[in-house]
């Protein structure tokens, strides 16, 4: 810990079994790349920063529009038209000035991921499209980088921790091919605002637990918020998967 003041800030983490001062130091020394600053990204970023992640790179090229405000809780009415990442940086700096906040306003394609991911410890994909998720999957597989997929729509959410450094586990493409109830990407389908908060906060939990060194379960976690039912699936690795099938 840097100082007594810093230690006080994270005092509630220190008695947690498996976290303690050493786990909190690992969180402080970590760099997270967060892709997508919508409802999930806003919720996740707040807990990553408040919990003391050392560096957070936020990636989004969108500007704030009025229909974002119900669930994208880092933005205010007066922020309409501004870049989301710039507004988020101001808000998060007030929350915890100890986190180094970096911004990426270009679309995250394979090339940008390949240049930026090696320097980070964890990737959190809170984007809203399969193309980006599949690209994150490919690049994280090639680098052996742990990442988390988070998505939500209507009253449903999905979370999956992916560990390419543990090759016995299914990758995102293996899982997507087998998921019985895969969420579509459809802006018109709607999203109940608190569901984005629940899933985004859950995503921060997975990331922080992983960074602190806690044992975190892999698998696909599905939330049906209408019935408040969480289900966990254990997708099997597909030996013919075009992304991970050729690994040893």
Shortest CB 134 distance to Zn ion, Å: 10
Contact between 173 and Zn ion by CB under 5 A: the answer reads yes
Q: Which residue, 150 or 174, is less far from Zn ion as judged by CB? A: 174
**DSSP sequence for 183-205:** PP--GGG-B-HHHHHHHHHHHHH
Out of 59, 186, 210, 241, which one is annotated catalytic? 186
Q: Could you say which of 171, 204, 209, 216 contacts Zn ion (CB under 5 A)?
A: 171
Q: Which residue, 59 or 136, is less far from Zn ion as judged by CB? A: 136
Shortest CB 198 distance to Zn ion, Å: 28
| HEC secondary structure over 12-38 | CCCCCCCCHHHHHHHHHCCEEEEECCC
Binding segment for Zn ion among 95-103, 144-152, 198-206, 233-241 (CB under 5 A)? 233-241
Q: Which residue, 34 or 174, is less far from Zn ion as judged by CB? A: 174
Contact between 135 and Zn ion by CB under 5 A: the answer reads no
Helix (H), strand (E) at residue 212: helix 193-212
Q: Could you say which of 43, 53, 87, 174 contacts Zn ion (CB under 5 A)?
A: 174
Contact between 241 and Zn ion by CB under 5 A: the answer reads yes
Residue 124 neighbours by CB under 8 Å, 6+ apart:
32, 33, 34, 35, 41, 44, 48, 147, 148, 150, 203, 204, 207
Contact between 244 and Zn ion by CB under 5 A: the answer reads yes
123: β partners: 33, 147
152 is catalytic: no
Residue number closest to Zn ion, CB atom: 241
CB 194 within 8 A of CB 40: no
Q: How far apart are CA 191 and CA 188, in angstroms?
A: 9
Give the tokens for residue 194.
Answer: 């608190």
Catalytic residues, which ones? 186
Per CB under 5 A, residues contacting Zn ion are: 171, 173-174, 241, 243-244
């Amino acid at each position: 810990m840097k100082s007594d003041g810093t230690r006080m800030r994270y005092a509630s983490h220190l008695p947690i079994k498996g976290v303690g001062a050493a786990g909190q130091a690992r969180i402080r020394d970590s760099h997270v790349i967060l892709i997508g600053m919508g409802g999930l990204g806003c919720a996740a970023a707040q807990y990553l920063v408040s919990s003391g992640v050392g560096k957070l790179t936020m990636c989004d090229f969108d500007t704030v529009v009025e229909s974002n405000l119900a669930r994208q809780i880092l933005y205010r009415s007066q922020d309409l038209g501004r870049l989301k990442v710039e507004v988020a940086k101001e808000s998060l700096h007030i929350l915890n000035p100890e986190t180094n906040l970096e911004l990426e306003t270009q679309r995250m394609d394979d090339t940008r991921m390949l240049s930026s991911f090696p320097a980070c410890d964890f990737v959190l994909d809170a984007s809203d499209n399969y193309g980006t998720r599949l690209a994150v999957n490919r690049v994280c597989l090639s680098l052996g980088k742990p990442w988390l997929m988070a998505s939500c729509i209507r009253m449903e959410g999905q979370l999956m921790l992916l560990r390419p450094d543990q090759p016995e586990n299914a990758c995102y493409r293996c899982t997507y091919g087998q998921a019985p109830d895969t969420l579509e990407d459809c802006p018109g389908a709607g999203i109940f605002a608190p569901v984005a908060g629940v899933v985004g906060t859950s995503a921060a939990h997975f990331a922080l637990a992983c960074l602190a060194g806690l044992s975190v379960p892999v698998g696909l976690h599905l939330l049906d918020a209408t019935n408040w039912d969480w289900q966990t699936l254990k997708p099997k690795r597909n030996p013919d998967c075009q992304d991970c099938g050729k690994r040893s």
